[in-house]
Amino acid sequence: MAETGAVNPFNITKANDLTDPEVESLWVDVRGEDSDAALIASVKPASPMPMFVLGGKGSGKTHLLRYCSYTIQKIRYAKTGLGLLEGIQRDRYIGLYSQCGDLNPGRFAGKRQDEEVWREVFAYCVELWLAQQALAVGKQLVADAGLTPQAERALCANIRDLFDKMPAQAATVADCLIQVRQLQRNLDYLVGNAIFSGELPVDVQATRGRLMFGIPAALAKAIPALRGVNFVYQLDQFEDLTLSQQQHINTLVRERRAPATFKVGGRQFGIKTHATFSDGEVNLKDSEYEELRLDERLRNSGTLYKELAKRLAGRRLSQASAGDAGEDRANLAAWFDQPDIRWNSDYFREISPEDVVQERAHFLRLIDQLHAAMPVGLAPQTRSERTLRRIVEALSVPDFPLLEKVNLLLFYQDWARRRPLLDAATRIACQCAAFLAEPEAKSQYRTKLGHFKADLMAQMLRENREKQVYAGVGTFVRMSEGLPRAFITLLKQTYDWSALQREQPFVTGRISLEAQRRGAIAGSDWFYNSMTKAGADGPKILGAVDRLGQLFRLHRFSDKPIESSLIGFSVKERDASHEARQILQVATSRSFLVDIFGGQRDRNSADTTTKLQLNRMLAPRWDLPTARRGIVPLSSQAIDAIFCQDQGRAFEALKREWDAKLNAPFRPAGKRSGDDEAATRSGGQPVFL
Amino acid sequence: MLIPGVDPYSIFRKRCFAPDSGWAAGEQWDFFLSAYNASERVRTVYSQARADKKYWVIHPEYRLIGDALPPEPKFEPSANGEDEFVIDLVNQLILNGYDPQSSSLCIDITGMLRPHLLFLVRALQKQGVSRFDALYSEPAYYRQKAATAFSAGMFSGVRQVAGYEGISNIDTSSDLLIIGMGFDAQQTKEVAEDKDKAHKIQLFGLPSLRADMYQQSVLRSREVADWLGDPSFAPANRAAAPANDPFVTANILSELVAEREARHPPTNIYLSPLGTKAQALGFALFYIGECVGKNRSIIFPFSTEYSPKTTKGLSRIWLYGIEFPIFP
């Protein structure tokens, strides 16, 4: 295993930063009982049906596509002792990987030329680009197949026939490649010079699709071993193309000819259109193309993603330690320190160590609240210090501070319902005593403890000025929401913090809670700062997510949180404003919000609503939970207040409204300020309250 | 012609003046251009410079309108994009009597947007201009030190700068990106992310304009270390060139690229000048001198808006003599 001071095995988080051998060696897959669950199977690398591989940043698209590319295929064959054509015959595909940004697509615009001209020039450029991809691989295939010079000349003649304006007869595929490369160079020069010359005299020498589809067909005809093998143009980072450029690629997808096909990789939000230039037809999912939503698939796969994440980490550790037992998954969890959070654990006494219960932070707060509420009649049937003391005494459980927090939660719930407070405290004391007598017996008290334990623990930490806990490999897996890069980033940051604290991560001992917490915060910051891309929506998304985080934090640390582990909400989108709907949509497509599969029924009606949650990578920013249990239905007015940038005042009113309803003395509606009343009337209150 | 062992750009002349040295008395041009913004140094130099005709260039990206604009003669090209903007500008200059072959011209590059500056240099070269002077004034300091953001609006994307679009090699397996590092971490991130798989070299301004500016620039680079593919801040990924010297900057770029070409030729080379305008000028000279027609491009993270006032004060004035062809 790595020594302290060694290179962080999680340093490289992006597939683009990996070398080809690293892409191969760091690849891991999962295999459930159903082999279709494997990642490699999900992308159907040999299928002739085009596929869009979509996912958020860091969902593993690039790693997956690169793993299926010719360069990595060759590495795999070499490792397993297969010859090139032998391996390809087994795989039944050749992956021709490139990134759309490599075309420098921004240059196909302006320069005093019409859009129509640029459309044609871009199409020609793509033609030459992909033709070179096919020829570069073809050159090696011809060599491996041992084609005679005559056969190669015949192949070159067939390739030459694909041009409208035939180039000189080439003797080898390598010469064909040089010819096409020269055409590309000429085109690049004309494009760059157009602004100076004022013209773009491009001599298009091949009709759209002739080369990119024709060359694979010619190769398959010349090399028998390639029969039945698909040439898969893997175009990654589709989002880098303009709408018109995407339309051109969509046209190629529609008009593809065997044995060539496409895999298009991109971010969800990067798909600007599925329209084509083929008589205005639009490509239809499952008709012209299939779609793989990678992070959604991983997120919804439950245990499979957990397995994948652990294998990913194990592989990194294994690589760093030259084949040590890094992939031992059982051991991975053991490296991470975790607190004992059973209700009777000493951990809670350590958080709240005062022997005199009245001096514990949660009781000090209660006493202050009662003192403030009693004189104005807001503490039902509680008028004297004596009653106050009896309440505190009833709710106290000196040895188990966590149970005191449960008692207080129940007490605040009764207070909000205007029940006599001493009666409530007495009843709760009985429930608590029953639980203590028989902790395993089913009871409402036990259920409440189970549901709210994480929130109550978070409250205890905050009340006692302790740091929140984000710990354990399971927590990091959950936080990463199906984005392997997010998971690796969390491990990378945690490793760095651990090393900084002079620990020996993955060498000896455990990674401390503090290193894990700092790692989680750093990972969260990375996510927050990196998931937006250039564009006007970025600040709007961040603004909306900030507001949502503030509300959930307010709820979590309130006296009477209604839902446990609240980071989710549901909304009837059709009732929200256009702007709010738009921001909801882009925040989801950029992974700030996560669509909870299936939607949910509104509690008060049969309408299906959209159910979303804050991405758990963001949880540490607002001290939120990484597990999700509750969902709050939000009214359309509340959604507007959160998601419309100019609704700052409405949002502040919404916050005040939540604060008043969730915190003692639970001021009744008639006793709130004018602004809050306005918010209530406008529907700005949380519906679930 | 490049001569081994000789710094190819060292033949160009540069002079340095104190703002109160009466520098302008010794200089006289037919035409003087300066991009207007709200910085004190730009206005001071404009008022001191002596020329038969002086014009402000108004960049719409500074969002200065009405009373915020200077009363002096100005060119306000309305065209979009650095190329059409500059062509409009040069045409207006010619309409006002400028003769590319014979008129003397000085351009204060201090307030000029980088892509526009780059294209202007290229356009003048293509126009057959044999010589012009570029003037750069150093600020006393940046208003918000390391937190200074130059791009104020939305990034509209990273693309090649017009006139600096090289050949695109389909093999991208060992692309190289050299970033002239500035203070704007967001700009750095955008560029690095656009050429995600390229190996990245950070070219810092050192010596910097002021003593602490190098450290500040390094601090900002650490914020985007992930995107730069440089989590451990490896010395091999760093280089330095003086922040106020375009010629040494061009020399350093020339050396960096030559060394890479000799060791393991990059499949594509991208240059992105995000540092000072003087350095951006150096990038332009290196490109025009050694990169045209090759697999080398200059890229830039374009923004819809730029902050018109990022600096305070004026410390030194530099005058650079630019001559074409760069290598006779």
Mean pLDDT value across residues B49-75: 89
Give the C-alpha separation, A542 to A544, whole Å: 5
Is the minimum CB–CB distance between B80 and chain A shorter than 8 Å? yes
How many folded domains does chain B comprise? 2
Q: Does B267 touch chain A (CB under 8 A)?
A: no
Rounded to whole angstroms, the Cα distance separating B328 from B313 reads 39
**How far apart are alpha carbons A85 and B49 in whole angstroms?**
71
Query: For B150-176, what is the mean pLDDT?
Result: 85
Interface of A with B in 535-574 (CB under 8 A): 535-536, 538
- Residue B4's pLDDT band, with cuts at 50, 70 and 90, is low
In this prediction, residues A158-162 reach a mean pLDDT of 94
Summarised one tens digit per residue, pLDDT across range B14-57 is: 999 998 888 888 899 999 999 998 788 899 999 999 999 999 99
pLDDT higher at B224 or B282: B282
Residues B91 and B158 in one domain: no
Q: Hey, where are the domains in chain A?
A: 39-297, 346-463, 534-689
B89 and B218 both lie in a single domain: no
What does each C-alpha distance from B197 to A19, A231, B51, B179, B309 come to in angstroms? Answer: 10, 24, 48, 14, 34
Residue B190 within any structural domain of the chain: yes
Contact B77/A at CB under 8 A: no
Res A516: pLDDT: 97
* Look-up of token digits 């404003």: A577
In a domain, B7, yes or no: no
Q: Which residues of A touch B167 (CB under 8 A)?
A: 184-185, 188-189
Residues B220 and B206 in one domain: yes
Asked if the structure places residue B4 within a domain, the reply is: no
pLDDT digits (tens, 9 = 90+) for A253-281: 999 999 999 999 998 888 999 999 988 89
B231 touches chain A (CB under 8 A): yes
B5 domain-assigned:
no
Q: Is the pLDDT reported for residue B209 higher than 80?
A: no
Cβ separation of A14 and B170 shorter than 8 Å? no
Tally of CB atoms within 10 A around A517 = 18
The answer to whether B278 and B244 are in contact (CB under 8 A) is yes
Compare CB distances from B160 to A106, A129, A196 and report the shortest one's residue. Answer: A106
In a domain, B8, yes or no: no
pLDDT on residue A678: 41
A119 min Cα distance to partner chain B (Å)? 17
Two tokens at A235? 């175009």
* Pair (B103, B171) in one structural domain: no
Tens of pLDDT, residues A201-218: 988 999 989 999 999 999
Share of chain A above pLDDT 70, in %: 91
Q: Are residues B268 and B222 in the same domain?
A: yes
Domain that holds residue B214: 145-303
Per CB-CB distance under 8 Å, the chain A contacts of B87 are 195
Using an 8 Å CB-CB cutoff, list chain A residues near B123: 196
pLDDT tens string A446-499? 999 999 999 999 999 999 999 999 999 999 999 998 899 999 999 999 999 999
- Asked whether residue B328 is domain-assigned, the answer is no
- Measured between beta carbons, the chain A residues lying within 8 angstroms of B301 are 534
> Are A104 and B84 within 8 A, CB to CB?
no
Please state, in angstroms and as integers, the Cα–Cα distance from residue A77 to each residue in A63, A80, A89, A113, A533, following that order.
18, 5, 11, 48, 38
Interface test with B, best of A97, A102, A528 (most B CBs within 10 A): A102
Give A536 to chain B, closest Cα distance, Å. Answer: 6
Cβ contacts (< 8 Å) between B268 and chain A: which residues?
102
Task: Say what the pTM is.
Answer: 0.84
Confidence category of residue B144, pLDDT binned at 50, 70, 90: low
CATH of the domain at B68: 3.40.50
Domain-located, residue B63: yes
Q: Check whether residue B80 and residue B195 sit in a common domain.
A: no
Q: What percent of chain A lies above the pLDDT cut of 90?
A: 67
Cα A545 to Cα A627: distance, rounded to the nearest angstrom: 18
Q: Which residues of B touch A8 (CB under 8 A)?
A: 231
Residue B135 sits in the same domain as residue B17: yes
Say whether both B226 and B152 belong to one domain. yes
By the CB < 8 Å criterion, does B289 face chain A? no
Residue B1 lies in a domain: no
Q: Is 0.90 exceeded by the ipTM?
A: no
Q: Chain B 166-195, CB below 8 Å of chain A: which residues?
A: 166-168, 170-173, 189-190, 194-195
Phi and psi angles of residue A480, each rounded to the nearest 5 degrees, phi first: -75, -10
Q: Does A168 touch chain B (CB under 8 A)?
A: no
Residue A333 binned pLDDT confidence (cut-offs 50, 70, 90): confident
Q: What is the pLDDT of residues A278-327, one digit of tens each?
A: 888 999 999 999 999 988 888 887 788 888 888 889 888 887 775 554 45
- What tokens does A551 get? 């509300």
Residues B17 and B83 in one domain: yes
| Position B311 pLDDT exceeds 80 | no
Q: Is A322 helix (H, G, I), strand (E, B) or coil?
A: coil
Q: Which of A16, A17, A111 sits opposite B162 (nearest CB)?
A: A111
Residue B270: beta bridge partners? B177, B297
Q: Is the pLDDT of residue B226 over 80?
A: no
3-state secondary structure chain B: CCCCCCCCCCCCEEEEECCCCCHHHHCCEEEEEEECCCCHHHHHHHHHCCEEEEEEECCHHHCCCHHHCCCCCEECCCCCCHHHHHHHHHHHHHHCCCCCCCCCEEEECCCCCHHHHHHHHHHHHHCCCCEEEEEEEECCEECCHHHCCCECCCEEEEEECCCCCCCCCCCCCCCEEEEECCCCHHHHHHHHHHCCCCEEEEEEECCCCCCCHHHHHHHHHHHCCCCCCCCCCCHHHEEEECCCCHHHHHHHHHHHHHHHHHHCCCCCEEEEECCCHHHHHHHHHHHHHHCCCCCEEEEEEEECCECCCCEECCCEEEEEEEECCCCC
Does B242 share its domain with B150? yes
Q: Residue A523: which H helix or E strand, with range? A: helix A513-530
Measured torsion, CA atoms of residues A253, A259, A260, A261, in degrees rounded to the nearest 10:
50
Nearest residue on chain A to B123, alpha-carbon basis: A196
Contacts of B194 in chain A (CB under 8 A): 101, 240
